[in-house]
Structure 1
Amino acid sequence: MGLLHFLASAFINTFGITQPSTPKQERTVSLLLGGLILTVIVVVLSITGFLLYQLHAGR
């Protein structure tokens, strides 16, 4: 959870978003941003895998 909290804080500080005021809000924001990051990673890996498969299949 520490890495996730660090990534969420870095994202918030980078884009100038107001910091969450309570620990509960920090946890919620960390989980939401972590879910977003995980979704982006899965999509990128899926597209990469699909393109490599198509390249290998000769299409």
Structure 2
Amino acid sequence: MKLLLFISNTFIKTMGITQPSPTAANRAAWFIFVMLSGVLAIVATIAFLAIHWASHR
């Protein structure tokens, strides 16, 4: 959980977002984790499909 909070706090500070309260920080950490995981999954899927498509041409 500490790593998740560290990543969340780094994201919040980098983007200039107002620091949340401790309870909101946990919720924000999970939200940011889910969103970043979703973006990474989409990028990986697109990369896989592009490589797959390019190798079969």
Q: TM-score, normalising length from structure 1?
A: 0.89
Aligned residues: 57
State whether structure 2 residue 12 is matched by structure 1 residue 12.
yes
CA distance in 2, matches of 1:14, 1:40: 18
Deviations 1:2-54 (A, max 9, x none): 11111110010011111111x32111000000001100100010000000100
CA distance in 2, matches of 1:50, 1:10: 31
- Once the two structures are aligned, what percentage of the paired residues are identical? 30
Matches within 5 A, 1:1-59: 1-21=1-21, 23-58=22-57
RMSD: 0.8
- Segments of 4+ moved more than 6 angstroms: none
Gaps of 5+ in 1: none
Gaps of 5+ in 2: none
Amino acid at match of 1:4: L
